[in-house]
Amino acid sequence: MTEHDGGPSARKLEEGRLLKELEAIHRTRHETLLHGSEDALVTHTKRMNELEHEYVRRHPQRAQTASRTRSGARARTNGEHKEQPM
């Protein structure tokens, strides 16, 4: 992606800066969703996607928590919704 008003291209960011940008954009997401203009939400979404895709590109083998996978979520859901005997 190219340079834009939302900051430098994610590919050009040094690792520490990429992580700081990701933290900041996730921190501001909820407020943008609730109170931002349509343009602000579109811009925020594009930048968030750019940063996240760059992180995943750099870290394809990142550690994954079992509960954050489909099978882990199913196991958690099945365990939480079992009826208790009376």
The pLDDT of residue 13 is above 90: yes
pTM value? 0.73
pLDDT, residue 63, reads 84
Q: What percent of the chain has pLDDT over 90?
A: 63
The pLDDT of residue 14 is above 80: yes
Mean pLDDT of 20-49: 97
Higher pLDDT, 11 or 85: 11
Q: Can you tell me the distance from the alpha carbon of 39 to that of 48, in angstroms, rounded to the nearest whole number?
A: 14
Q: Tokens 């005997």 belong to which residue?
A: 85
